[in-house]
Amino acid sequence: MFGPDHSTESIATRIDHLMEAVFVEDDGTRLERLARHVAPNFVYISPEAVFDGPAGLGEAFALYRRADRRPVTLSRTSGVDLHHGYFRYTWQRVERGVVAMEGWSLGSLDDAGAIRRVVTFEGLVPGALGEGG
């Protein structure tokens, strides 16, 4: 399931690859690229919804692949803190050259080192976008 360099590729590099792959326009290519780095039971949790598997991760970013939103990029703005199979990092989404959103994500790896779960929060400071649960 995983690419041949999966075991030696850093988690930061895998996250970067996922952030690029979600914007690939061709469905088959996008799914293949996402599946290289995530566990079969991968779950992506955003403020809007919960998405399952590589196809779900691609679906989560479908809005940003629309012609009226391009070009869009997603990139890490910090290193990746990793311990005991859990990680966190900050990110930004740029649309048409302007930072549209910043946030942070945390996640976990499975026993094989594949990304099992990513939970994304919008805003760099917890609770900064308003009161909520």
Phi-psi category of residue 15: left, alpha or beta, with phi > 0 → left and psi -120 to 50 → alpha: alpha
Q: What CA–CA distance (Å, rounded) separates 103 from 1?
A: 30
Within a domain: 132: no
Enumerate helices (H) and strands (E) in the chain, giving the number of each: 3, 7
Task: Say if 1 falls within a structural domain.
Answer: no
Q: Number of folded domains in the chain? A: 1
CATH number of the domain bearing residue 42: 3.10.450.50
Q: What does R_g of the chain's alpha carbons equal in angstroms?
A: 14
Per residue in 75-113, pLDDT (tens digit) is: 999 999 999 999 999 999 999 999 999 999 999 999 988
Domain that holds residue 25: 11-122
Q: Indicate the pLDDT class of residue 8, thresholds 50, 70 and 90.
A: very low
